[in-house]
Amino acid sequence: MISNNASKMIVLIGLMGSGKTTVGRALAERLNFSFKDSDETVEKIAKTSVREIFENQGEEIFRKLESQALVDLCAENSPIVLAVAGGAIISQSNRDLLQKNARCIVWLDAPTPTLISRTGRGKHRPLLDGDPVGSLNKMRLDREPLYQQVATHHLVTKSLSIVEVVDQIISLCSLENSSSR
Ligand code: S3P
């Protein structure tokens, strides 16, 4: 259960290609919140790209940096929309942190073919290098229960435009009067 209702952090979770970054930017613009992306924060902390971290230091180090990024982002005082990279919810402590700090956590979902069509150019997604369909299907199986557990809302975006997804999040999370303007 979300304990901090006064928080102005809106969190988006979901598999790679679910639209967290695109929707997050549009939502942040609508609310006049800052937009943050956990992968970008990892890259700032590590001073290198997600792909290079995976290739040179390995996934374990990436996951540690990801947890550090979430701690830093949750300490922000200003209102933010936070796109949390797909694998961050694997960690129980990351899930606890997000639940403790977010006003709402929206799980963006779409069928695998839709995810595939959106992830084609993702340089920061080394886990999709070999067999993207197989990898995404396996991630879905492993992670769906965790998304389910942590999310306050579940939104299937397949046939929705970005504006429609933003509208739905605003309504689901009761954000109508939340603009920081
Ligand atoms: C990952 C998702 C990616 C990135 C990395 C690993 C995952 O972020 O952190 O490639 O394990 O699902 P996005 O979900 O923003 O694509």
The pLDDT tens digits for 38-93 are 999 999 999 999 999 999 999 999 999 999 999 999 998 899 999 999 999 999 99
CA 50 / ligand 1 centre spacing (Å): 9
- In a domain, residue 26? The reply is yes
9 has which bridge partners? 80
Would you give the distance in Å from CA 113 to the centre of its chain?
Answer: 19
CA 16 / ligand 1 centre spacing (Å): 6
- In a domain, residue 168? The reply is yes
- In a domain, residue 179? The reply is no
- In a domain, residue 180? The reply is no
- In a domain, residue 177? The reply is no
For the chain, how are helix, strand and coil distributed in percent, rounded to 5? 55, 15, 35
- In a domain, residue 91? The reply is yes
The residue whose CA has the least distance to atom 7 of ligand 1 is: 87
Are the C-beta atoms of residues 41 and 73 closer than 8 Å to each other?
Answer: yes
| CB burial of residue 69 (10 Å; 0-12, 13-18, 19+) | buried
Record the tokens describing residue 61, joined without a space.
């180090």
Are the C-beta atoms of residues 155 and 172 closer than 8 Å to each other?
Answer: yes
* Residue 5, pLDDT above cutoff 80: no
Phi, then psi, of 36 in degrees rounded to 5: -130, 150
Give, for ligand 1, the residue of 124, 128, 129 to mutate: max count of ligand atoms closer than 8 Å to Cβ: 124
9-47: pLDDT as tens digits: 999 999 999 999 999 999 999 999 999 999 999 999 999
Q: Is the CB of 109 under 6 A from ligand 1?
A: no
- In a domain, residue 109? The reply is yes
- In a domain, residue 178? The reply is no
What total number of domains does the chain contain? 1
The residue whose CA has the least distance to atom 8 of ligand 1 is: 85
CA 124 / ligand 1 centre spacing (Å): 7
Q: Is the CB of 69 under 6 A from ligand 1?
A: no
CATH, residue 161: 3.40.50.300
Q: Is the CB of 124 under 6 A from ligand 1?
A: yes
Give the Cα separation of 163 and 97 in Å (integer): 29
Which residue range is the domain that position 82 belongs to?
4-172
pTM for this model (two decimals):
0.95
Record the tokens describing residue 15, joined without a space.
């598999």
Give the Cα separation of 112 and 114 in Å (integer): 5
